Amino acid sequence: MKPMLGGQSAVMRSPRRGTRRVRVTAIAAAAAIATLAAAGCSSQGSSSSATSTASSGATSSASAESSASSASSASSASSASSGPKVTLSFWSWVPDLNKVVAIWNAAHPDIQVQVQVQAGGDAELTKLLTAAKAGNPPDLAQVEYQALPTLVTNNYLANIAQYDSGLKSDFPAGNWNQVTLGTSALYGVPQDAAPMALFYRADEFKKYHLTVPTTWAQFAADATKLHAEAPGVYLGTFSSVDPGEFAGLTQQAGAQWWSASGSTWTVDIDSAASQKVAAYWQSLIAAGGVDNQPQWTAAWSKGMNDGKYIAWVSDVWAPGDMPSASPSNTGKWVMTELPQWTAGGDVVGNWGGSSTAVLAASKHQQAAAEFAAWLNTSPAATAALAADSGIYPADTAAESALSAPPSYFANQQNFWSLAKQYAAEASPVTWGPDVDLAYTEFTTAFGGAVTGKASLLGPLAQIQSAVVSDMKKSGFTVAAG
């Protein structure tokens, strides 16, 4: 689902929020648990792992896996429901999630869930790390896929395999690998998928005699021509404070920021593919083809609503944001495939995607795991998530059952079939153990470069250096990218 920024409400992003889906490379997943656990126990002073206070949590979680694999989620659900009444706190940024949770609460008087709305994505992760370190995190939290390794490193997530491992067949292998890190442990239940897409105002495209861009070269040419002819109008904006979006765009170009072989990690953020994407957007900003207004700000929403921005590089979770970002234009925006680097290609990146995780400090892990399973596999819950919150569910049965488009896109009857197509085109992605650090460095470095009208290539090297240094300090073996 999409990450929320500056307290503005947004859907995942992850989203989710992050295969089909986002497929985590098996080699990295296999290495992840061993290296994350080992480094998490020995790190000193690292921004991604300094918050770790337990020296054996990840290892002890792994040791519980053998006994967990034989337990069924059905029997555990029955057990959890039969106990004394409990109230679970749930951090999430999903719009209108209370409507979905109300269905659960009405049917489960002994397990009540209270939604506590959070700023999404990176903002929630920072707050979650702080709360977990202090010993007072929520029982459950919406966690984007790329954030899971950070939380596992710090031993802050419960291994819920003994309760929910039976759900494996409900999800594509790529999604399941992201919440298991390729092991028999389970650190969350997949919620949504997040393939990127392009959204455009059909009425404004007609007004300006634009055709839907199928390549990035066409997008750039049209954007520059449009702004020259209509100086107050842009074909979109480049947001220097949305690292997840930039990461997704580099995935489409072939970048793999992290990879692992055995116990050795490779960091390649400053790759040729990343440089290609950075140079492309820098050129567009310089030419005036796109604005550099951060997304999820009052100015951006005004531009989305009044026709200043007539296209948006976004994600299939956009239906959850559109009613607030462009309230006057219901039915006028259309989703289409992300422009391609090569004509005729069919590749997209991922921006977000998230899971429902149970915190290790929760005193009601079984009940929390039962709710997490219901939220992401129950037909009633997944239908409500899609209809009320604009979530594109990871559950395969729910995905297949989607028919009516989101209400904001009522004129686009093929919305969900296109979402399924883009999900199948999504590039594989491996997330490293310090995505939070990389994203923080991105916001600082890219934000400064855009403000100072400097090159966007320098920040890539800066982020690469910071991540490599952080991982080495945390005890990881890191090879040159």
Rounded average pLDDT over 360-388? 96
pLDDT of 48? 37
> 286: helix, coil or strand?
helix
HEC secondary structure over 376-422: HHCHHHHHHHHHHHCCCECCHHHHHHCCCCCHHHCCCCCHHHHHHHH
Compute φ and ψ for 309, nearest 5 degrees: -110, 120
The span from the CA of 182 to the CA of 180, in Å, is 5
The contacts of residue 366 (CB under 8 Å, 6+ apart) are 76, 79, 80, 163
Report the alpha-carbon distance of residue 273 to residue 279 in Å, rounded: 10
Assigned token pair, 297? 């700000």
- Reported as a single tens digit per residue, the pLDDT across 213-249 is 999 999 999 999 999 999 999 999 999 999 999 999 9
Number of CB atoms found within 10 A of residue 186's CB: 30
- Better pLDDT: 442 or 389: 442
Cα separation, 185 vs 178, in Å, equals 11
Is 26-194+351-405 assigned to CATH 3.30.70.2740? Answer: no
Tens digit of each residue's pLDDT (9 = 90 or more) over 318-347:
998 999 999 999 999 999 999 999 999 999
Return the structure tokens found at 136.
Answer: 């007072």
pTM more than 0.85 = no
Q: Residue 82: its pLDDT value, please?
A: 55
- Which CB contacts under 8 angstroms, 24+ apart, belong to 54-60? 54/154, 54/155, 56/155, 57/155, 57/156, 57/360, 58/33, 58/152, 58/153, 58/155
The two structure tokens encoding residue 93? 């940024």
Q: Which two tokens stand for residue 471?
A: 């991982």
Q: How confident is the model over 101-120, as a mean pLDDT?
A: 96
What's the average model confidence in pLDDT over 455-479? 94
For 381, phi then psi, to 5°, come to -70, -45
Residue bearing the bigger pLDDT, 437 or 34: 437
Task: Report the percentage of the chain scoring pLDDT > 90.
Answer: 65
Could you tell me the pLDDT band of residue 135, with boundaries at 50, 70 and 90?
very high
Res 278: pLDDT:
97
- Higher-scoring residue by pLDDT: 5, 190: 190
DSSP three-state, residue 333? strand
Taking residues 260-268, report their average pLDDT: 90
Does the pLDDT value for residue 129 go beyond 90?
yes
Residue 85 CB-density burial (10 A; 0-12 exposed, 13-18 middle, 19+ buried)? exposed
The domain limits of the chain are 26-194+351-405
Give Cα 265 distance to the centre of its chain.
Answer: 22
Q: Which amino acid is at 190?
A: P
Residues 6+ apart with CB under 8 A from 100: 94, 375, 381, 384, 385, 388, 389
Least confident span in 6-20, 151-165, 205-219: 6-20
Buried b (16+ CB within 10 A) or exposed e, 110-128: ebebebeebbbbbbbbebb
Which long-range CB contacts under 8 A does 99-107 form with residues at least 24 apart? 99/384, 99/388, 99/389, 100/375, 100/381, 100/384, 100/385, 100/388, 100/389, 101/375, 103/380, 103/381, 103/384, 104/371, 104/374, 104/375, 104/381
The reported pLDDT for the residue numbered 183 is 82
220 alpha carbon, distance to own chain's centre? 26
Structure tokens at 269: 């953020």
| Residue 160, helix vs strand vs coil | coil
Q: State the CB neighbour count (10 A cutoff) for residue 135.
A: 8
pLDDT tens sequence across 17-74: 332 233 334 334 444 444 444 443 333 333 333 333 333 333 333 333 333 333 333 3
Supply the pLDDT for residue 227: 96
